[in-house]
Amino acid sequence: MTDRQQHQLWGGRFSESTDAFVQAFTASEAFDRRLYEHDIRGSIAHATMLAENGVLTRDERDTIVQGLNEIRAEIEAGEFQWSVELEDVHMNIEARLTAKIGDVGKKLHTGRSRNDQVATDLRLWLRERMDETDGELTRLMRALLDQAETEADTIMPGFTHLQSAQPVTFGHHLLAWFEMLRRDRQRLLECRARVNQLPLGAAALAGTTYPVDRQRTAELLGFDGVCENSLDAVSDRDFAIEFCSLAALCMTHLSRISEELVLWTSAQFQFIDLPDRFCTGSSIMPQKKNPDVPELVRGKTGRVNGALINLLTLMKGQPLAYNKDNQEDKEPLFDSVDTLRNCLRAFADMMPALEPKRANLRAAAGRGFATATDLADYLVRKGVAFRDAHEIVGQAVGRALEDNRDLEELSLAELQQFSEVIEADVHEILTLEGSVSARNHIGGTAPEQVRAAVERGRQWLA
Ligand code: ARG
């Protein structure tokens, strides 16, 4: 046996050592070391369960746990010698354990395989990251509610086709963002329940002959339950795909919000100001203040979408049960977790600092005949059929356009030329405040509704 063969924990049946390039090619320790803490936690729970069921003695269990705790400290102090020859995080830690505590270390892997071990580690890791993600997401959602409350009466143009459509309140617009994120959070919480099932006990693929108590291991690790089928437990990565899918949707929402922020900070819109700390300048154009944070978030959506396609393609066509393909699940998953969390964090920091320019928002809402629908509705209330009202208002808009005026700038007499049912009360209908506060039902833009929705949103988050 060569040195390298002896080093490899599975070297027994091999007559020549792995090609050096193949060894590096098949190794994952460079990226899966990130799972070290969860690997150790999983091992401690496994050893504890084995001792409770008489597979290990109490002393053996205690020696193993102490060794693992010391290894955790070594890794955290940067003193751990990672070895590519030991392939992955699991074998690096196990080999170190045996080096530290002797032969009893070799008993840790009883009733377990790397196949159920890695699936367990990944689920534990993801569960923790999802909870952090939820923390950033709810921080952002709270910031949106606070801003929406402050801006419940602020009027801005609402758009369809990016053309002025009807006035809305800025608070209402922010609450639309809140609703997108609410569904993202629901997806996150639903996905967490499916992530939080224990694979350990599945062993390599078929289960194990030792008297294991999987419920107990689940309880020790805070899992809600155990994966029901051993073949499925070690092989499917749908929980990771599901996370990447909800991450892609959430990034899509952040990207849409980003697009609006980018437009709104432009000299052409001037709807909001972003504080300097969220922007950067140009090295050549001194006047520039670029909205880098939203632009970057919009751009990072691509890599998260990419990770989703990556994992879907990785899974497709894999026969049961575990295949080495699954080692490729980690980098895309890690990257989408990091990216989503960082983007949410940046947004949660930025949102309270967003400064709406109320006068500009209001002025923009007044342009573009945003209250034309209100005039049509007014005519309908006076007995005109909606299609006729639509036609009448179209003519009034045409009249106003001729000399570049807005609807509310037409005199009563001018308006009456288009319909005799128009009376003096029409002008309050044509005001922006009249327009928004008339949409006073659940889901409508009226300031009163915005305030009520903020209240409900706070209760939902509590
Ligand atoms: N490094 C592997 C992975 O990430 C661990 C499981 C390997 N199992 C095996 N039988 N080769 O999936």
For residue 87, give the ligand 1 atom closest to its CA: 1
**Ligand 1 atom 11: residue of nearest CA:** 324
- Shared domain check, 309 and 177: yes
- Shared domain check, 126 and 100: no
Which of 296, 327, 356 is a domain's end point? 356
Mean pLDDT of 133-159: 98
pLDDT digits (tens, 9 = 90+) for 271-287: 999 988 888 887 878 88
For residue 326, give the ligand 1 atom closest to its CA: 12
For residue 88, give the ligand 1 atom closest to its CA: 1
In angstroms, the Cα distances linking 358 to 75, 150, 376 are 53, 11, 27
Number of domains in the chain: 3
- Shared domain check, 135 and 204: yes
Structure tokens at 187: 């997806």
Higher local confidence (pLDDT), 15 or 40: 40
In angstroms, the Cα distances linking 208 to 148, 213, 215 are 56, 11, 15
Which of 310, 326, 356 is a domain's end point? 356
Question: 92 in a domain, yes or no?
Answer: yes
CA–centroid distance, 67 to ligand 1, in Å, is 23
Structure tokens at 130: 């999802």
CA–centroid distance, 33 to ligand 1, in Å, is 13
- Shared domain check, 82 and 187: no
Which of 312, 330, 356 is a domain's end point? 356
CA–centroid distance, 48 to ligand 1, in Å, is 23
When pLDDT is cut at 50, 70 and 90, the band that residue 12 belongs to is confident
pLDDT digits (tens, 9 = 90+) for 297-338: 999 999 999 999 999 999 999 999 999 999 999 999 999 999
- Shared domain check, 224 and 77: no
CA–centroid distance, 25 to ligand 1, in Å, is 13
- Shared domain check, 102 and 124: no
Mean pLDDT of the residues in the chain: 95
Task: Give the CATH number of the domain where residue 26 resides.
Answer: 1.10.275.10
CA–centroid distance, 187 to ligand 1, in Å, is 29
- What is the model's pLDDT at position 438? 94
Question: 415 in a domain, yes or no?
Answer: yes
pTM: predicted TM-score of the whole model, two decimal places? 0.94
For residue 32, give the ligand 1 atom closest to its CA: 4
Question: 361 in a domain, yes or no?
Answer: no
Look up residue 290 and give its DSSP letter: B
Has residue 350 got a pLDDT over 80? yes
Cβ 201 vs Cβ 223: under 8 Å: no
Has residue 288 got a pLDDT over 90? no
Task: Give the CATH number of the domain where residue 397 resides.
Answer: 1.10.40.30
- What is the model's pLDDT at position 9? 79
Dihedral sign (CA 284, 289, 293, 296)? negative
Has residue 2 got a pLDDT over 60? no
Task: Give the CATH number of the domain where residue 295 resides.
Answer: 1.20.200.10
3-class SS string, 112-160 = CCHHHHHHHHHHHHHHHHHHHHHHHHHHHHHHHHHHHHHCCCCEEEEEE
- What is the model's pLDDT at position 283? 81
- Shared domain check, 123 and 101: no
Ligand 1 pocket test, pick from 31, 33, 118 with the greatest ligand atom count within 8 Å of Cβ, gives 118
- Domain span holding position 235: 115-153+169-356
Question: 304 in a domain, yes or no?
Answer: yes
- Shared domain check, 60 and 197: no
CA–centroid distance, 114 to ligand 1, in Å, is 6
Question: What separation, in Å, do the N-terminal and C-terminal C-alpha atoms of the chain show?
Answer: 62
- What is the model's pLDDT at position 1? 46
- Shared domain check, 334 and 194: yes
Question: 159 in a domain, yes or no?
Answer: no
Q: How far apart are CA 219 and CA 226, in angstroms?
A: 10
Ligand 1 pocket test, pick from 25, 28, 89, 114 with the greatest ligand atom count within 8 Å of Cβ, gives 114
Question: 362 in a domain, yes or no?
Answer: no
Number of residues that this document lists for the chain? 462
Q: How far apart are CA 409 and CA 379, in angstroms?
A: 18
For residue 28, give the ligand 1 atom closest to its CA: 1
**Ligand 1 atom 3: residue of nearest CA:** 327
- What is the model's pLDDT at position 4? 58
Q: How far apart are CA 39 and CA 122, in angstroms?
A: 9
Question: 261 in a domain, yes or no?
Answer: yes
- Shared domain check, 389 and 347: no
pLDDT digits (tens, 9 = 90+) for 355-396: 999 999 999 998 888 889 999 999 999 999 999 999 999 999
In angstroms, the Cα distances linking 433 to 84, 366, 410, 424 are 68, 11, 18, 17
- Shared domain check, 238 and 199: yes
Catalytic residues: 161, 282
Q: Which residues line ligand 1 (CB under 6 A)?
A: 28, 32, 88, 114-115, 118, 324, 326-327
Ligand 1 pocket test, pick from 87, 235, 311, 324 with the greatest ligand atom count within 8 Å of Cβ, gives 324
Question: 122 in a domain, yes or no?
Answer: yes
- Shared domain check, 387 and 242: no
